[in-house]
Amino acid sequence: MNRRSFISTMALSFTLAPLAAEGQQSGKVWRIGYLSNASGTGPTEEVFRQALRQLGYVEGQNLVIEWRFAKGNLDRHPELATELVRLQVDCIISIGTAPTLAAKQATSTIPIVMGTLSDDPVQHGLIASLARPGGNITGVVDIAHGLAAKRLEFLKEVVPTAERIAILWHAGSPGAAAQVKETEMAARSLRMQLQSLEVRRPDDFENAFRAAGKGRADAVIVVTFGFVQNHPESIVNLAIKNRFPAMYTSSDFVRVGGLMSYTSYAPDRLRRAATYVDKILKGAKPADLPVEQPTKFELVINLKTAKALGLTIPASVLLQANQVIE
């Protein structure tokens, strides 16, 4: 081989090398772990799947999602998180406080993306700060100043005579406990009384609403974390049966007959979480990706339920609603 041929061959090999590497990269099948307290794939998971698809990740082509659902049993999270680590997934997306805590305990190396977290991740030791997470965890949190107060204010507008509010929550859920604490502070500032309705299993729902009646509650707030999120129909039916105007922390409850909900916009959180996954799979480190807080909120009202409860929703509230179910 003469010198000119040698140089041409080397030049061609250097040109093709990046293309070959790119081809190998594009041929990689990514494996993502999804850890949630939910019962199974539903609208939330479909939003996440679609968001990934828009970013170029398609199940059955270049993506495998290992779905793991605790189905309301918080004790299962450590076991499920360990399974995902054993599978050597490229990234774990955790939905909620308990799943994220379990994932952190299971691995300090696999990147973890919080798909939603209704608690302070700094207080739980999950990250160093929102701006500089510092470890293997980043993502989106569902904490925003004033959410609890706004829920109470909406209830007061719908039920002007409301002074005593009962709050139903899963006593074993860290995220629910944080919501109760924030609501207690908001209730004090608004000069409203708060009655705690702690539940530990589905059998406690009826007793909880019975206790709210004995406590002369004017309305109920339902914190839809822990196993509570898996029983929307049961809880909504009990609220209507006991004639309680109820505010929920998830719009899913309103879509099955609940009166109203006010929360950050869930689809937006999941889409943002998908962008974190994309960045991490492309080489970004969780420690360098600031944690995001919600900027978009959603008020959903069910007029049919309002009518059944004998309530008239003020025009001032309806004008603020993002969705009105009739």
Phi, psi of 320, rounded to the nearest 5 degrees? -90, -10
Same domain? 54 vs 132: yes
Same domain? 43 vs 152: no
What is the model's pLDDT at position 26? Answer: 56
The answer as to whether 220 is a domain residue is yes
| Two structure tokens written together for 95 | 């939905």
Same domain? 198 vs 303: yes
Same domain? 41 vs 151: no
The answer as to whether 7 is a domain residue is no
| Two structure tokens written together for 255 | 């879509």
What CATH number does residue 129 fall under? 3.40.50.2300
Q: Which residues of the chain fall below pLDDT 70?
A: 1-26, 144-145
Is residue 116 within 8 A of residue 106, CB to CB? The reply is no
Number of structural domains, the chain? 2
Element (H, E) at 199: strand 193-199
pLDDT (tens digit, 9 = 90+) per residue, 38-62?
Answer: 888 778 899 999 999 999 999 999 9
The answer as to whether 6 is a domain residue is no
The answer as to whether 3 is a domain residue is no
Q: For residue 91, what are the domain limits?
A: 25-143+266-295
Same domain? 30 vs 54: yes
Same domain? 257 vs 162: yes
pLDDT (tens digit, 9 = 90+) per residue, 168-198?
Answer: 999 988 888 888 999 999 999 999 999 999 9
